[in-house]
C-alpha cells in the first residue's frame, strides 16, 4: 500500500456516519421500541424480554425527563412539560404492564410518536435536543 492510498484510507470517508443529537435520540427510541414490540409479540413466553425492554424504556424516559427538567434545556416550556408528563406516564404504565394489568402497546405508540417528531424535526433542519 502506498503512502497516498494509506492517507486516503485514513482520512477518507469515516467508517461511521456522524450522528446529530436528534439522530442519536431517534436511534435510542427505535432500539427500545423494537425490543418492546418483539417481546410483546412473544406473549407470556416473552415476559423476561419484556421486563428488560420495559426497564430500558424507563431508563430512556427517566434520562429524558432529567434533561427536560434541567434549567439549561432549550426546548419550549410547553413541550418540556409534555415530555416530563410522558416520562411519568411511562413509569406508571410500565408498572402496570409488569403486574399484568396492561399491555405495552401504548408505550410503543408513545415512543413511535416521539420518533416521528424527532424525524420531522430533523427534516426541518431543527437540531435542538430533548
Q: For the segment 16-72, what is each residue's pLDDT rounded down to a tens digit? A: 556 687 889 999 999 999 999 999 999 989 999 999 999 999 999 999 999 999 999
C-alpha cell at 56: 430500558
The mean of the pLDDT values for the chain is: 87
Asked if 76 contacts 62 with a C-beta cutoff of 8 angstroms, the reply is no
Q: Is the sign of the CA dihedral 74, 76, 77, 81 positive or negative?
A: negative
Amino acid at each position: 500500500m502506498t503512502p497516498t492510498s494509506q492517507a486516503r484510507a485514513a482520512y477518507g470517508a469515516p467508517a461511521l456516519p456522524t450522528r446529530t443529537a436528534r439522530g442519536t435520540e431517534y436511534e435510542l427510541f427505535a432500539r427500545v421500541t423494537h425490543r418492546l414490540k418483539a417481546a410483546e409479540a412473544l406473549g407470556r413466553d416473552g415476559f423476561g424480554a419484556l421486563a428488560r425492554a420495559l426497564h430500558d424504556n424507563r431508563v430512556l424516559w427517566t434520562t429524558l425527563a432529567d434533561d427536560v427538567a434541567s434549567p439549561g434545556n432549550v426546548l419550549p416550556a410547553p413541550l418540556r412539560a409534555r415530555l416530563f408528563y410522558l416520562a411519568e406516564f411511562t413509569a406508571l404504565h410500565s408498572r402496570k404492564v409488569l403486574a399484568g394489568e396492561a399491555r405495552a402497546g401504548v408505550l410503543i405508540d408513545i415512543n413511535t410518536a416521539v420518533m416521528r417528531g424527532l424525524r420531522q424535526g430533523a427534516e426541518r433542519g431543527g437540531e435542538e435536543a430533548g
